[in-house]
A and B are shown apart, each in its own frame.
Chain A
Amino acid sequence: MYKTKDGEEIFIIDGHVHLWDGSPANQRNKHGEEFINCFFGYHTALSPKEEVWPRAKFEKYGAETMYEDLFVKGYDDMAIFQPTYLKDFYKNGFNTLEQNASLGVRYPDRFIINGAFDPRDGEAGIAQMEEDVAKYKLKGVKLYTAEWKGDSKGYKLSDDHAKRFLEHAEKLGIKNIHVHKGPTILPLNRDAFDVADIDDAATCFPNLNFIVEHCGLPRLDDFCWIGVQEPNVYGGLAVALPFIHSRPGYFAHIISELLFWLGEDRLLFGSDYGIWTPKWLVDQFMTFELPEDVRKETGVNLSLEAKKKILGLNAAKLYNIDIAAKKAAHSATHSVAAE
Chain B
Amino acid sequence: MSATSFAAPADRVSEVLARLATVNDPELDESVVELDFVTDVTVDGDGAVSLSFRLPTYWCAANFAFIMAEDMRNAVAALPWVTRVSVALGAHMYSETINRGIAETQSFETAFGDEANGNLVQVRRTFLVKAFQRRQVALADHLLAAGYPPEALAALTIDALRSCTNTPEGQALVQRYLDRRDVVGEADDEAPAFVDEHGASVAPEAFRPHLRALRRVAVNVEFNGALCRGLLAARFNETRDDDEPTLLDFIRAVPTEKRAPTG
State the A residues within 8 Å of B (CB): 31, 34-35, 37-38, 40-42, 44-46, 153, 182-184, 186-193, 217-221, 224, 243, 246-247, 250, 253-254, 257, 297
Question: Which chain B positions have C-beta within 8 A of A192?
Answer: 61-63
B123 at interface, CB cutoff 8 A? yes
Q: Is B78 close to A, CB under 8 A?
A: no
A297 in complex: contacting residue of B109, B118, B212, B231, CB < 8 Å? B212
What DSSP secondary structure best describes chain A's contact surface?
Answer: helix
Among B61, B108, B224, B226, the residue within 8 A (CB) of A183 is B61
CB-nearest residue of chain A to B127: A191
Sampled A-B contacts (20; CB under 8 Å): A34-B93, A37-B235, A38-B57, A38-B59, A41-B235, A45-B231, A184-B61, A186-B115, A187-B115, A188-B63, A188-B116, A189-B63, A189-B118, A189-B119, A192-B61, A218-B223, A219-B220, A250-B226, A253-B223, A297-B212
B126 within 8 A of A: yes
- In B82-126, the 8 Å CB interface with A consists of 93, 108-109, 112, 115-120, 122-123, 126
**Which of A44, A184, A188, A217 is the one whose CB lies under 8 Å from B223?**
A217
**Cα-based distance from A192 to B61 in the complex (angstroms):** 7
Asked if B219 contacts A254 (CB within 8 A), the reply is yes
Bound complex: CA A193 to CA B126 (Å): 13
Tell me whether A220 and B223 are in contact in the complex, defined as CB-CB below 8 angstroms, given that A183-B60, A188-B112, A190-B123 are known contacts: yes
**In contact, B117 and A186 (Cβ under 8 angstroms):** yes
The answer to whether A45 touches B212, judged by C-beta atoms less than 8 angstroms apart, is no
Docked pose: A219 CA to B109 CA in angstroms: 24
Give the interface of B toward A (CB within 8 A). 27, 56-63, 93, 108-109, 112, 115-120, 122-123, 126, 212, 215-217, 219-220, 222-224, 226-227, 230-231, 233-235
* Cβ B220 vs Cβ A246 within 8 A: no
Q: Is the CB of B109 within 8 A of A189?
A: yes
Closest Cβ of chain A to B53, distance in Å, is: 17
CB distance from B137 to the nearest CB of A (A): 12
Q: How far is the CA of A31 from the CA of B108 in the complex (A)?
A: 23
Known: A187-B116, A297-B215. 16 other contacts (CB 8 A): A37-B58, A38-B57, A41-B231, A44-B234, A183-B61, A187-B118, A188-B115, A189-B117, A192-B61, A218-B223, A220-B223, A246-B230, A250-B222, A250-B226, A257-B216, A257-B219
* The residue from B115, B215, B234 contacting A153, defined by CB atoms under 8 A apart: B115
Do the beta carbons of B126 and A42 come within 8 Å of each other?
Answer: no
- Bound-state CA distance A87–B219 (Å) is 36
The answer to whether A45 touches B234 (Cβ under 8 A) is yes
Query: In the bound complex, how far is the Cα of B109 from the Cα of A253, in angstroms?
Result: 37
Q: Chain B residues near A153 (CB, 8 Å)?
A: 115
Q: Which residues of A contact B123 (CB under 8 A)?
A: 189-191
A41 touches B219 (CB 8 A): no
Query: How far does the Cβ of A214 sit from chain B's closest Cβ, in whole Å?
Result: 11
Min CB distance, A276 to chain B, in Å? 13
Chain A contacts for B59, CB-based, 8 A: 34-35, 38, 182-184
CB neighbours of A218 from chain B (8 A) = 27, 220, 223-224, 227
A45, B119: Cα distance in complex, Å = 34
Of A46, A183, A186, A221, most B-chain CB atoms within 10 Å: A221
- Smallest distance from the beta carbon of A75 to chain B beta carbons, Å? 25
Across chains A and B, which 8 residue pairs bring their CB atoms closest together, nearest first? A45-B230, A187-B117, A34-B58, A41-B234, A253-B219, A218-B224, A44-B234, A45-B234
| B residues less than 8 Å from A193 (CB atoms) | 61
Q: Are B58 and A38 in contact (CB under 8 A)?
A: yes
- Contacts of A219 on B, CB cut-off 8 Å? 220
Which residues in B have their C-beta under 8 angstroms from that of A190? 63, 117, 122-123
Say how far B111's CB is from chain A's closest CB, in angstroms.
10
Do B116 and A224 touch across chains, with their CB atoms under 8 A apart?
A: no
Q: With A41-B57, A153-B115, A184-B62 in contact, do A220 and B230 touch (Cβ < 8 Å)?
A: no
Tell me, rounded to whole Å, the shortest Cβ–Cβ distance linking A54 to chain B: 14
Contact partner, A188, options B56, B62, B233, Cβ 8 Å: B62
* Chain B residues closer than 8 Å to A257, beta-carbon distance: 216, 219
A189 touches B216 (CB 8 A): no
Central interface residue in A188, A219, A224, A253, by most chain B CB within 10 Å? A188
Bound Cα distance A224, B123 (Å):
20
B234's contact among A40, A184, A186, A221, by CB below 8 Å, is which?
A40
How long is the Cα–Cα vector from A39 to B109 in the complex, in angstroms? 30
Q: Inside 8 A of A46's CB, which chain B residues have their CB? A: 230
A45 to chain B, nearest CB (A): 3
Q: Out of A31, A37, A220, which one reaches B219, CB within 8 Å?
A: A220
Contact of B93 with A184 in the complex, beta carbons under 8 Å: yes
Contact between A42 and B216 (Cβ–Cβ < 8 Å)? no
Contacts of B231 in A (CB 8 A): 38, 41-42, 45
Instruction: Check B227–A45 contact: CB distance below 8 A.
Output: yes
Q: How far is the CA of A327 from the CA of B194 in the complex (A)?
A: 56
CB-defined contacts of B63 to chain A, threshold 8 Å: 188-192
Q: How far is the CA of A88 from the CA of B112 in the complex (A)?
A: 21
Q: How far is the CB of A40 from chain B (nearest CB, A)?
A: 7
Inter-chain CA distance A38–B61, complex, in Å, is 14
Q: List residues of chain A with CB within 8 A of the CB of B126.
A: 191
Q: Which residues of the partner chain B approach A38 to less than 8 Å between Cβ atoms?
A: 57-59, 231, 235
Q: How far is B92's CA from A188's CA once the two chains are assembled, in angstroms?
A: 15
CB contact under 8 A between A243 and B220, given known A45-B234, A189-B117: no
- A34–B120 Cα gap in the complex (Å)? 26
- In the complex, chain B residues whose CB is within 8 Å of the CB of A243: 223, 226
